[in-house]
Amino acid sequence: MKIILLGAPGVGKGTIAKELVIKYGIPQVSTGDLFRENIQKGTDLGKKAKAYMEKGELVPDDVTVSMLRERISRQDCRKGFILDGFPRTIPQAEALEELTAIDNVINLECPDEIIVMRLSNRRTCSKCGAIYNLVTIPPKEPGKCDKCGGKLVQREDDKEEAIRNRLEVYRKQTSPLVEYYDRKGLLVSIDAARNPDEILVEVVGELGESDAVEEIRSEPDQ
Ligand SMILES: [Zn+2]
């Protein structure tokens, strides 16, 4: 099962991805992890990527696609994978298509207002970095960290204007992709303005049950 996961920041994509990894026994493959791993291991591709990143430039698609080709050829991907953070553009989607056939594109949809509400309620401990949410995980004492007593602050990233900017960038970047996969009949749109359990039930309903889970789970990680 080869899945692409699309979703704006704050939509809960990370949580859903983790659950799908467990449910289907397939790995989550993110470009961030690919870059980190290749740079850490000092591969040729990693060295190339690092040079661009140090200049503050985007890593060219051919480098990213080569990393991806190597990653999905590994044993743990033979039953599929969940792609996170790639593709972001139509040329990347076309390059991916030459690499492998994707089965489903899950698009987690959530109105901006709800995302803004979720993220703008986030507070971070200025001392230990613990994360709270004024609505869902409030501290026992207002403004104070449960763990260390540090002062809770709102990060610049979590302020409404910053969130709205990020959402706008995301929508601009992703809407052509959503149309692209919709035309190909691969797009599954899921209402993500709910709690993660409900979202997961619907995603699994769309993807179907997996019979390969037990087999894969019994194998050691490479
Ligand atoms: Zn703290």
- Is 155 catalytic? The answer is yes
Work out the number of other CB atoms within 10 angstroms of the CB of residue 179.
12
pLDDT over 70 (residue 214):
no
166 is a catalytic site residue: yes
Convert the pLDDT of each residue in 23-77 to its tens digit: 999 999 999 999 999 999 999 999 999 999 999 998 999 999 999 999 999 999 9
- Quote the mean pLDDT of the chain: 91
Domain residue extents for the chain:
2-26+79-217
pLDDT tens-digit readout, 95-144: 999 999 999 999 999 999 999 988 999 999 999 999 999 988 899 999 99
Percent of the chain, pLDDT > 70? 94
Ion ligand 1 neighbours, Cβ < 5 Å: 125, 127-128, 130, 145, 147-148, 150
Name the DSSP letter for residue 184: T
Distance 77 CA to ligand 1 centre (A): 38
pTM of the model: 0.82
Provide the pLDDT confidence category of residue 221 given band limits of 50, 70 and 90: low
**Which member of 2, 13, 48, 118 is catalytic?**
13
Nearest partner of 200 among 210, 211, 192, 188, judged by Cα:
192
123 is catalytic: no
How many other β-carbons are positioned within 10 Å of the β-carbon of residue 202?
A: 15
Beta-carbon contacts of 167 under 8 Å, excluding residues fewer than 6 positions away, are 8, 9, 10, 112, 115, 116
What own/partner pairs with CB < 8 Å and gap ≥ 24 does 205-212 have?
206/104, 206/106, 207/1, 207/3, 207/20, 207/24, 207/104, 207/106, 210/1, 210/23, 210/24, 210/25, 212/24, 212/25, 212/79
Q: Are 25 and 213 contacting, i.e. CB atoms less than 8 angstroms apart?
A: yes
- Long-range contacts (CB closer than 8 Å, 24 or more residues apart) made by 148-152: 150/125, 150/126, 151/125, 151/126, 151/127, 152/123, 152/124, 152/125, 152/126
Q: What is the CATH number of domain 2-26+79-217?
A: 3.40.50.300
Q: Is 164 a catalytic residue?
A: no
Nearest to 214 by CA among 15, 80, 20, 22: 22
36 noted as active-site residue:
no
d(CA 4, CA 106): 6
| Alpha carbon of 138 to ligand 1 centroid (Å) | 13
Catalytic option among 2, 48, 79, 88: 88
